[in-house]
Amino acid sequence: MDEQRTRQGPQHESPLQSERGATTIGDAVVAKIVGIAAQEVEGVQMGGGTARAMGGFLDSVPRPMSGVGGGSQTRGVSVEVGAEEAAAELSMAVEYGRQIPQTTEAVRNNVINRVENLTGLRVTEVNITVNDVLFPEEERPQQEQQQQVR
């Protein structure tokens, strides 16, 4: 087997493993990066339908410490993280009028680039479920309601 490895070239070495120790990236960290990266794509809102409405309400409730728990950044995100690899499942809504295949491909590419560059993990897959379509008038009342609560 060592001969086969030599013929194929050097094995992929993880930046998370070194002779001085190992770095472990937590699921919550990867989920937050995935959620933020997905929302960087224009016309996308994580969650969808009831999850988005409940998340909007929960985001308006004050927390003792900001940044704890993830909130809207991890809504609609599920990840599996190993020692060197990660996989993600996303649930999202896309604005009406946007081409769903191109939008989801842009999300997938951005998620893979962000996770691999920021964590050193290799992303094996990013599965996306589009479960809602956003209309511009749906978005405004939710944002106004959230601002009034705060």
Q: pLDDT at position 139, please?
A: 54
Does the pLDDT at position 46 exceed 70?
yes
Calpha distance 31→26 (Å, rounded): 9
> For residue 90, which phi and psi values (nearest 5 degrees)?
-120, 145
Distance spanning both ends of the chain, measured CA to CA? 62
- Average pLDDT of 19-33? 95
Q: pLDDT at position 111, please?
A: 98
Q: Which residues contact 84 (CB under 8 A, 6 or more apart)?
A: 14, 16, 17, 121, 122
pLDDT bucket at 138, cuts 50 / 70 / 90: low
Q: pLDDT at position 92, please?
A: 96
Calpha distance 4→32 (Å, rounded): 39
Q: pLDDT at position 95, please?
A: 96
pTM of the model as a whole: 0.72
Least Cα distance to 113 among 147, 92, 88 occurs for 88
Which tens digits make up the pLDDT trace of 64-111?
443 444 467 899 999 999 999 999 999 999 999 999 999 999 999 999
**Domains along the sequence of the chain with CATH:** 23-149 (3.30.70.1350)
User: At residue 33, what is the residue type?
Assistant: I
Long-range contacts of 8-14 (CB under 8 A, 24+ apart): 12/122, 14/83, 14/84, 14/120
